[in-house]
Amino acid sequence: MLLLGAASALVDGINEGVRARGFTDMRPAHGFAFVRLAPDGATVVELAEHLGVTKQAASQMADELVRKGYVERRPHPTDARARLLTLTGRGWACTRAADEAASEVLLPWADALGPDRLATVRTALSTLAVPGRIRPTW
């Protein structure tokens, strides 16, 4: 289906842009994690739910991101068992790079389309998409 092709092209394009900006050790999956971590941080379990994987998988991804310097594990303010994962400066820089890359990919597309048809596409897609479903690994 061409919906899939478009989605792939989009993800590839953004990933390409992120790498071009110097973050060569990032995969698209990391970007999906950043979406959840960006506002106020999250626990491993919350991250796991957001990504649709087990908490072990999320934990080991967190390990990787900590090792690479994008994420910190801080003590949770109210729960001594939990740890709050938050973005480091480098993590935020990468998030900004991803936003830039995304605009870069979408801008010419939105331009060619015009605001009206763009809105049509957006609403059309949002009726099909169930909220929060981001499981790219088939």
Partner DNA sequence: CCCATGTAGTCAAGCTGCTTGACCAAATAG
Partner DNA sequence: CTATTTGGTCAAGCAGCTTGACTACATGGG
| Rounded distance between C-alpha atoms, residue 135 and residue 36, angstroms | 14
From residue 73 to residue 112, the character string flagging contacts with a second copy as x (rule: CB under 8 A) and all else as - is -----------------------------x------x--x
Axis crossing angle, helix 89-113 with helix 28-37, rounded to the nearest 10: 110
Reduced 3-state DSSP string for 86-100:
EECHHHHHHHHHHHH
What residues numbered 14-43 form the site for DNA, per CB under 7 A?
27, 29, 43
Confirm or reject binding of residue 120 to a second copy (CB under 8 A). Answer: yes
Q: Residues binding a second copy: what is the number (CB under 8 A)?
A: 39
Q: Which of 10, 38, 53, 93 binds DNA (CB under 7 A)?
A: 53
